[in-house]
Amino acid sequence: MLNETVARVTDRIIERSGAGRQAYLARMHGAAEAGPARAHLSCSGQAHAYAGAGADQAALATQSAGNIGIITTYNDMLSAHQPFERFPELIRDAARAAGGTAQVAGGVPAMCDGVTQGTAGMELSLFSRDIIAMAAGVGLSHNTFDSAIYLGVCDKIVPGLVIAAQAFGHLPAVFLPAGPMTSGISNDAKAEVRQRFASGDATREELMASEMAAYHGPGTCTFYGTANTNQMLMEFMGLHLPGASFVNPNTPLRDALTIAGTQRALAISHLGNSYTPVCDVLDEKAYVNGIVGLHATGGSTNLLIHLVAMARAGGIILDWQDFSDLADVTPLLARVYPNGLADVNHFHAAGGLGYMIGQLLSGGLLHDDVKTIAGDGLDRYTQDPKLKDGGVEWVSGPTETLNDKILRPMGDPFQPTGGLKRLSGSLGNAVTKVSAVKPEHRIVEAPARVFHDQEAVKEAYKNGEFTSDVVVVVRFQGPKANGMPELHSLTPVLANLQAKGLKVALVTDGRMSGASGKVLSAIHVCPEALDGGPIARIQDGDMIRVDARDGLLEVTTPGALDRALATADLSGNEYGQGRELFANFRKTVGAADAGASSI
């Protein structure tokens, strides 16, 4: 039986989204009826479209067995996307063998927050999601495709591709992941060296050796940050094949899953026997399933922004209260770094997403009556893919955890509620990730120290200015101010202060990485400082209460909110490292709780 809260939240999302969702579906159904323009193009237009197709040129001109458009984020400077270099060839060969064709419709940019962390480039990161969506739209605009395959993994990339997929929602959409790199040194050992470097007790050579041992080969990073949270979502929401998320790159099973995904993309096109457009897959129930998965796994806070934007692209309106209510009834079933010592490879070996989906279905926390690219019903996603005769066979997945230090059943969770919490109060709305925060650190009331950038925080730390309990306020970091960069480089500093016995919290209108978590952090504060938010009225010494137990974010100093708004010199955010190209995004972007979107 479906959980009462899950049913209630789903119903109110459906009601709230009614008019917009119906208008969206009407557009998609109209596009489906019109079909691809391939057959209606002039001979010259068709010749242009097929001229580069090599062995498939004649088939495209004379047959209609199905043409797949590939949108790829391949580049070879980012480990997560390097494996995609081989995918177009695999896809073309598999499509040809099945009687269809495939073409790379377009490439889209893919940047890494890990590389740009703490630099000016990080201010482009959130906006890159919208660029990715638009670039994918350009690739598919030729309207010569019967279905689409999306190759993407990391932070802003998958959300951007999902937004694009919904703009072309009459087409089936199969998402093919690259998988995580094999395990290097433990994430805990890596974090320990980072904290020692921040306190001056480790050399840069030691830090570099540690980082290279952690990030050592092709595939996604193995901690449970935004990239791997994206992969979980694609499985919970039915856009991956079952069990595909965490299979390592360049292995026989990964290649077999890529081939099977290609075959499925043809089978669910309008020319196949199981037409399943993405507009029918990504409905309100699918988004609720994704949110439940986010909580049960202790996933990245970035998805509270991305899921809202993704849903709106399909006419569905989510708000942070939906997330909070679902968190209250969803147990935390996984401990994956930074919420534990295990990485995603260990999680996958312990039973992974198939085991977790089975547990959540049995507990009434997921909608089973959904459409997926694998067929009707989420129950299909309790199965594991196995190699058989060079192809993939799905078998029943584990019904018991294989390591209860990493993955637990519904009846014995790591904690009774999910890993994310909405905060509200006199300082506005915010979110916090509590799955990695120890219970004794989940309520902090302390004087504020106010900063306008993260470098000033680190400088104050180096100068020994933090000697007592503190709420570090970093403002003018919202989407309008500077693109809402992640402030992950503050994590070692704040963790060191907490380790010294101080009560420490962070309050910011910026973001924190999906890898953050040990220190209580009220992030995505709305309204942001540049938009007149109360955070712009705070001064040093004001008492701030961050309460993840009762969901409170308040200033308790009398008269604090009667002051004039602070201002900041943001001219340094306008130029350098491409920031001048994104001025219009900063001017038009919406609030974080509405998805922080400019499109």
Task: Give domain status of residue 507, yes or no.
Answer: yes
pLDDT (average), residues 451-474:
96
Final residue of a structural domain among 345, 363, 396: 396
Task: Give domain status of residue 411, yes or no.
Answer: no
Counting residues of the chain whose pLDDT is more than 90, the rounded percentage is 78
- pLDDT for 63 equals 73
Considering the domain architecture, whether residues 249 and 355 belong to the same structural domain is answered as yes
Longest dimension (CA), the chain: 77
Q: Which domain holds residue 448?
A: 420-594
Task: Give domain status of residue 599, yes or no.
Answer: no
pTM: 0.94
Considering the domain architecture, whether residues 45 and 110 belong to the same structural domain is answered as yes
Considering the domain architecture, whether residues 353 and 454 belong to the same structural domain is answered as no
pLDDT digits (tens, 9 = 90+) for 385-412: 999 998 999 999 999 999 999 999 999 9
pLDDT (average), residues 114-119:
80
- pLDDT for 43 equals 81
Residue pair 394/383 in contact (Cβ under 8 Å)? The answer is yes
Encode 484-529 in three state secondary structure.
CCECHHHHHHHHHHHHCCCCEEEEECCECCCCCCCCEEEEEEECCH
- pLDDT for 518 equals 86
- pLDDT for 516 equals 61
> Domain with 521 in it: what CATH number?
3.50.30.80
Q: What is the dihedral of CA 486, 494, 326, 595, to 10 degrees?
A: -20
pLDDT (average), residues 1-13:
98
The answer to whether residue 319 scores a pLDDT higher than 80 is yes
Considering the domain architecture, whether residues 358 and 506 belong to the same structural domain is answered as no
Q: What is the dihedral of CA 328, 334, 337, 342, to 10 degrees?
A: 170
Considering the domain architecture, whether residues 306 and 225 belong to the same structural domain is answered as yes
Final residue of a structural domain among 364, 396, 428: 396
Residue pair 81/107 in contact (Cβ under 8 Å)? The answer is no
Considering the domain architecture, whether residues 242 and 306 belong to the same structural domain is answered as yes
Considering the domain architecture, whether residues 366 and 428 belong to the same structural domain is answered as no
Q: Which tops the pLDDT comparison, 22 or 193?
A: 22
Task: Give domain status of residue 192, yes or no.
Answer: no
Task: Give domain status of residue 203, yes or no.
Answer: no
- pLDDT for 200 equals 83
The answer to whether residue 121 scores a pLDDT higher than 70 is yes
Angle at 401 between CA 398 and CA 403, to 5 degrees: 135
- pLDDT for 251 equals 95
Q: pLDDT class for 202, splitting at 50, 70, 90?
A: confident
- pLDDT for 315 equals 98
Task: Give domain status of residue 278, yes or no.
Answer: yes
Question: How many CA atoms are closer than 13 Å to the CA of 142, on its beta-carbon side?
Answer: 26
The answer to whether residue 491 scores a pLDDT higher than 90 is no
- What is the C-alpha separation between 449 and 544, in angstroms, rounded? 10
Considering the domain architecture, whether residues 372 and 509 belong to the same structural domain is answered as no
The answer to whether residue 37 scores a pLDDT higher than 80 is no
Across 117-121, 158-162, 206-210, 420-424, the highest mean pLDDT is recorded for 158-162
The answer to whether residue 196 scores a pLDDT higher than 80 is yes
* 112 in a labelled binding site: no
CB-count exposure of residue 364 (10 Å: 0-12, 13-18, 19+): middle
pLDDT digits (tens, 9 = 90+) for 533-551: 999 999 999 999 999 999 9
Considering the domain architecture, whether residues 15 and 156 belong to the same structural domain is answered as yes
- pLDDT for 573 equals 87
Final residue of a structural domain among 363, 396, 429: 396
The answer to whether residue 342 scores a pLDDT higher than 60 is yes
The answer to whether residue 169 scores a pLDDT higher than 80 is yes
Considering the domain architecture, whether residues 155 and 240 belong to the same structural domain is answered as yes
Considering the domain architecture, whether residues 488 and 576 belong to the same structural domain is answered as yes
The answer to whether residue 52 scores a pLDDT higher than 90 is no
Considering the domain architecture, whether residues 379 and 446 belong to the same structural domain is answered as no
Q: pLDDT class for 80, splitting at 50, 70, 90?
A: very high
pLDDT digits (tens, 9 = 90+) for 494-510: 999 999 999 999 999 99
Helices 187-198 and 491-499 sit at what angle, rounded to 10 degrees?
80
Task: Give domain status of residue 282, yes or no.
Answer: yes
Task: Give domain status of residue 426, yes or no.
Answer: yes
Q: What are the Cα distances from residue 533, in Å, to 90, 193, 198, 542, 546?
A: 51, 37, 32, 16, 17
The answer to whether residue 513 scores a pLDDT higher than 80 is no
Q: pLDDT class for 514, splitting at 50, 70, 90?
A: low
Residue pair 426/534 in contact (Cβ under 8 Å)? The answer is yes
Supply the DSSP string of 9-30, one letter for each residue. HHHHHHHHHHHHHHHHHHHHHH
Q: What is the count of structural domains for the chain? A: 2
- pLDDT for 515 equals 55
* 221 in a labelled binding site: yes
